[in-house]
Amino acid sequence: MAPKPGRGRRVRQAVSRIRVGVVYGGRSGEHEVSCVSARSVVRALDPVRFTVVEIFIAPDGRWSVGGEPAWLRLDRTGQAALVVGGREVVCDVLFPVLHGTYGEDGTFQGLCEMVNVPYVGADVLGSAVGMDKGVQKALLRDAGLPVVPFRVVEASRWEREPGGVYAEVASVGYPCFVKPTRLGSSVGVHRVDREEELAHAVRDALRYDLAVIVERAVLDPVEVEVSVLGNDDPVASVPGEIRPTHRFYDYDAKYVDPQGAQLVVPAQIPTDQAEGVRELSLRAFRVLRLSGMARVDFLLDRGGAVYVSEVNTIPGFTPISMYPRLWEASGVPYRELVGRLVDLALERWRRRNALCTSYEGGRRIRMEGVG
């Protein structure tokens, strides 16, 4: 069912299919991964329910549809449309498959909010805190969820006071991981086993962001992931286990080397531990004020301790990605999954559009003047 008209949205006549704009690419170190994910999403959207518009964002930020330049424009009623080759293309909902900066971090979501277009996934707040690993972990920690010891190091502090950074990292302990705070897909991530390796890891991670997060490594961990789906009443999938064959689950293991990791679904962990990580994934989803979808990653040490490693608000949708695989194993096929995500986006948009956006007192001030 197509969305009901809201503020400034044009009423369609006899709409039989929902027009979904799949947005992919983007100005991010995860550009290539986004393109692979988007191909899978486009193939999965049910042609009986949806008409797909593929919207590509180049690494330099330029938009295009079908190879033609495109840009966003508002008409006199406030209706948002893409202008492509002199014609207007109006989408009922946007499905961002934009991993990393300028797509997963709240910036794209803010654009959608400004022009009142429904979109799949977390809103501005959820996307921003989900993307920033330092803020995310602080919120999870303060809400009582288990996270490993960590420190955030800004580029300016590294340049000004490297000795202090070394001391803080020593308090976290070696081995540790150094990561850009606002990037995913293991881009710029380094495992640091001793102090002599720290400078190289920090400098490389700072190529991708203005701050890095340093986290204590969990030795010989069991890596488990859970997929979450929903808005106000989210549900969790069965857990899956990742067994990397590389030193850790790095970019090559995820996307380049077909033998880089073994994905075990469901995870081979005790039943009580599986239920525990599913419950923690739902708690993390609510703490970060997420909606639509998320993948929650965990590290389990051999002593039985469980740590929330990371929450991803736009998880991978490649053919081998864990988010759709876990839902397949939980009884939700890929095609049904992407359809549900579109429905959740429209549901949230309708609820938000029912909110009041004006105030009677403010109207009186405008009419009467101030003072």
Contact call for residues 300 and 220 (beta carbons, < 8 A): no
* Structure-token pair, residue 328: 């397949």
Q: In sequence order, what are the residues at sequence separation of 6 or more whose Cβ sits closer than 8 angstroms to the Cβ of residue 158?
A: 165, 202, 206, 212
Measured over the CA atoms of residue 203, residue 204, residue 208 and residue 211, the dihedral's sign is negative
Active site residue 310: yes
Q: Which of 9, 216, 278, 295 is catalytic?
A: 295
Helices (H), 61-218: 107-115, 124-131, 133-142, 155-160, 162-172, 198-205
Interior angle at CA 263, CA 257 and CA 268, nearest 5: 150
* Dihedral pair phi/psi, residue 122, rounded to 5°: -65, 155
**Pairing mode, if any, of strands 261-264 and 18-25?**
unpaired
| 3-class DSSP assignment, residue 228 | strand
Nearest-angstrom CA–CA distance, 148 and 28: 27
Q: Which of 185, 237, 291, 330 is catalytic?
A: 185
Q: Whose CA is closest to 103, among 94, 115, 90?
A: 94
Active site residue 297: yes
Contact call for residues 267 and 240 (beta carbons, < 8 A): yes
Q: Which of 182, 186, 310, 348 is catalytic?
A: 310
* Dihedral pair phi/psi, residue 76, rounded to 5°: -65, -25
Interior angle at CA 303, CA 299 and CA 304, nearest 5: 60
Q: Which of 127, 312, 321, 330 is catalytic?
A: 312
Instruction: Say which amino acid occupies 263.
Output: L
Active site residue 30: yes
Nearest-angstrom CA–CA distance, 364 and 295: 47
Q: Which of 230, 260, 316, 339 is catalytic?
A: 316
**Integer distance in angstroms from the first to the last C-alpha of the chain?**
49
Active site residue 295: yes
Helix (H) / strand (E) containing 274: helix 271-287
Q: Which of 104, 123, 225, 297 is catalytic?
A: 297
Contact call for residues 183 and 208 (beta carbons, < 8 A): yes
Active site residue 312: yes
Active site residue 348: no
Q: Which of 251, 255, 323, 334 is catalytic?
A: 255
Active site residue 121: no
Active site residues: 30, 185, 255, 295, 297, 310, 312, 316
